Homo-oligomer: A and B are copies of this chain.
Amino acid sequence: MRNSEMTRSQKRLAHLTSVVREAGVKLTHQRLEICRELATTEEHPDAETLFRAVQERVPTMSLDTVYRTLWMLRDLGLLTTLGPNRDAVRFDVNLDRHHHYVCVACGSVRDFESEELNALRLPNAVKKFGTIVDAQVEVRGLCAHCKREKETTAAPLGGGRRRRRT
């Protein structure tokens, strides 16, 4: 089968599995099935939803494995999470129009303002989804502090997500 004949989800699955393998991570039955599920979804599922879907094919699947696999895939750059990756809901009292810089490592968020970004025009397709109350840019990156930290201590893969409270 030539690449051009593969469906979108087939391509995705091939990409997922090849990157996992190349990273030297064992491609277990469980992980393969999770990848399969991820490859076909056009949604933004949570772990529980994936768990339930995969469980139909692998009845012994555990929720913990789903979580561990998802964080591992994230660490390999194969998926992202929506919003700042956090333990708790965070509140924003800044009522002025502004945008966010989110550190993908520690979850800290910095505000910034930009007339140019405020003026951005949205495609018409968006209006079909529903009403629009706000549009803001979310920039993701590694903040200066975490970058320094990462250069000194290399964390292992799939190390979970929680930043323990101190």
Contact = CB atoms under 8 A, between A and B. Distances in A.
Interface of A: 12, 15, 38-39, 41-42, 44-48, 50, 70, 74, 78-95, 100-101, 103-104, 109-114, 116-117, 120-123, 125-126, 128-147, 161, 165
19 contacts: A46-B86, A47-B88, A48-B88, A78-B93, A81-B91, A81-B92, A82-B86, A82-B91, A82-B100, A113-B123, A117-B122, A122-B139, A130-B144, A134-B140, A134-B141, A135-B137, A135-B138, A136-B138, A137-B137
A146 B133 CA distance: 14
B139 A126 contact: yes
Nearest to A105: B130
In the complex this chain forms, how many copies of it are found? 2
A92 B79 contact: yes
Contact of A85 (B12, B50, B89): B89
Nearest to A79: B93
Nearest to A114: B123
B114 A137 contact: no
Nearest to A121: B116
B129 A141 contact: yes
B104 A133 contact: yes
A47 B89 CA distance: 7
A137 B139 contact: no
A92 B88 contact: no
Nearest to A143: B130
Contacts of A12: 93
